[in-house]
Structure 1
Amino acid sequence: MKLNKDNYTKEEVTKIIEDINSNYNTKIEDFTTKLSEANTKLTDADKQKEIISNLTKSNLSNSIKVEMLKNGLSEDMFDLVADSKDLDTATNKINKLLDIKKKTDIDNGYKPTEHTQTNTEYENAQKKGDVAGMLKSKMSKLFK
């Protein structure tokens, strides 16, 4: 709107003010609609971010379980590895668990006792210096 006159009537001034008010009102309404749209997009983005975070955690836990099963560990030990932040640290923990499992399997494995008995007879005779006892323990293996 152009203002060309020096003096305006009251009606002209009220019409100018109404035009300005209506123009501002439409701009404010447009701004509020855009603001509400932005807020809904922001809440949608937050929901998607939460979904992505949950999916990432689920993916990591599934990857850890697969890695454990590939290495022969049961899922009962998952709690020992579940607090890992990525697959590499989980793999390191799994390797440590495998080392511990190997040591316990070796310690709990079969240990023959019948073979050590003859060696102890020979060793006892050797400690005493008894040559006949040493020969007797060695020869007894031949005539079983």
Structure 2
Amino acid sequence: MEELKKDNYTKEEVEELINGIISNYNTKIEDFTSKLDEANTKLGDLDKQKETIEKLNKSNLESSIKVEILKNGLSEDMFDLVADSKDLETATNKINKLLDIKKKTDIDNGYKPKEHTAQQTAYSEAEKKGDVAGMLKSKMSKLFK
């Protein structure tokens, strides 16, 4: 900025001083505006990077959950039951509960022999009735198979 050295200035000199000041401020405003636009662009890039990182973290968690499911011998169809977990530890706890349920189901649906119980039932029924002949018949039928 120019220093004022005279006591009196002509109209043209004052206009020249004011135009210089306005030009100087306009240059500073343009510089500030360009820096502001650049900062806004960087913020937009940061938001995109943050979004990308969140997607990658979610994908990584999903992959880790699928690995845990498969490692524990569960079907990948069960992924939906644990997909809402916020972290791997929560998912692992849910997977362990699913394993417990699966074990109980496997036991309930396991092999239960019926032929032995049928023979024992025939003998037991004859015994309840006091039918000695029926009891002997049940026992003897095993010998002649």
Q: TM-score band, normalised by the shorter chain?
A: 0.7 to 0.9
- 1:94 is the counterpart of 2:95: yes
* CA distance in 2: counterparts of 1:74 and 1:38, whole angstroms: 49
Give the count of matched residue pairs: 143
Where in structure 2 are there 5+ consecutive unaligned residues? Answer: none
Amino acid at match of 1:111: K
1:115 maps to 2:116: yes
Counterpart in the other structure of 1:15: 16
Please name the residue that 1:40 is paired with: 41
Tell me, yes or no, if structure 1 residue 85 matches structure 2 residue 91.
no
Q: TM-score, normalised by structure 2?
A: 0.82
Query: Larger deviation: 34-43 or 87-96?
Result: 87-96
Q: Aligned partners of 1:25 and 1:77: how far apart in 2?
A: 65
Which amino acid letter does the alignment assign opposite residue 31 of structure 2?
A: D
Distance in 2 (alpha carbons) for counterparts of 1:126 and 1:86: 62
Q: CA deviation at 1:41?
A: 0.3
Secondary structure of 2:53's match?
Answer: helix
- Whether 2:48 is the aligned partner of 1:62: answer no
Q: Give, in whole Å, the separation in 2 of the partners of 1:65 and 1:18.
A: 70
Show CA shifts across 1:100-136 (max 9, x none). 11111111111112232344356446656789988x5
Large movers: runs of 4+ above 4 Å:
121-134
* More off after superposition, 56-65 vs 117-126: 117-126
- Alignment partners' CA distance in 2, 1:30 and 1:11: 28
> TM-score, normalised to structure 1's length?
0.83
- Gap runs ≥5 in structure 1: none
- Alignment RMSD: 2.5
